[in-house]
A and B are shown apart, each in its own frame.
Chain A
Amino acid sequence: EIVLTQSPGTLSLSPGDRATLSCRAGQTIGKNYLAWYQQKPGQAPRLLISGTSNRATDIPDRFSGSGSGTDFTLTISRLEPEDFAVYYCQQYDTSPLTFGQGTRLEIK
């Protein structure tokens, strides 16, 4: 299975800052089939990005995704208070689908 490693484990930033979250795969992810999800406490995950860089419906344009092969990035250009949450990457190229362990974005 494809192992996804997210870094950092925790990111402490302030509203207005730029956040850069990394997701590294143990092998190449084909077709850029990499998604990002946001999860807030007590809530189900919410799709942010699919296909490495395609924002889901109603996701603000301060969220962007990039990368290819084994290295992928989620960038939040200017943090809003509601963006502090846990973020997961997921590959859906190869079965079994796998998730990274998550990055917790906390208020500094």
Chain B
Amino acid sequence: QSALTQPASASGSPGQSITISCTGTSSDVGSYNYVSWYQQHPGEAPKLMIYDVSKRPSGVSNRFSGSKSGNTASLTISGLQAEDEADYYCSSYTSSSTLVFGGGTKLTVL
């Protein structure tokens, strides 16, 4: 039950694109298309941004997209905006029928 690996921090200027990686193993990310991404602003509950690797819930901006290759999933945010500054977490279903989260990435919009 080791956490998925994410970079601790990321940054970009308004209008730029940024990609956050999430590396797991063949027991989670590599074997299932149940990778989700969550956005969390300070003091708030997480919000689902991407599910099943690349699907967007209703109401989430199309500036957010997801992908996966092997054991690594990625979240890309295009056209960065100040409101995108937040913590981002990935999660995956695992072979033990559980979920596992990444350590989180703090995104700073410069």
* A and B: bona fide binding partners: no
Chain B interface (Cβ within 8 Å of chain A)? none
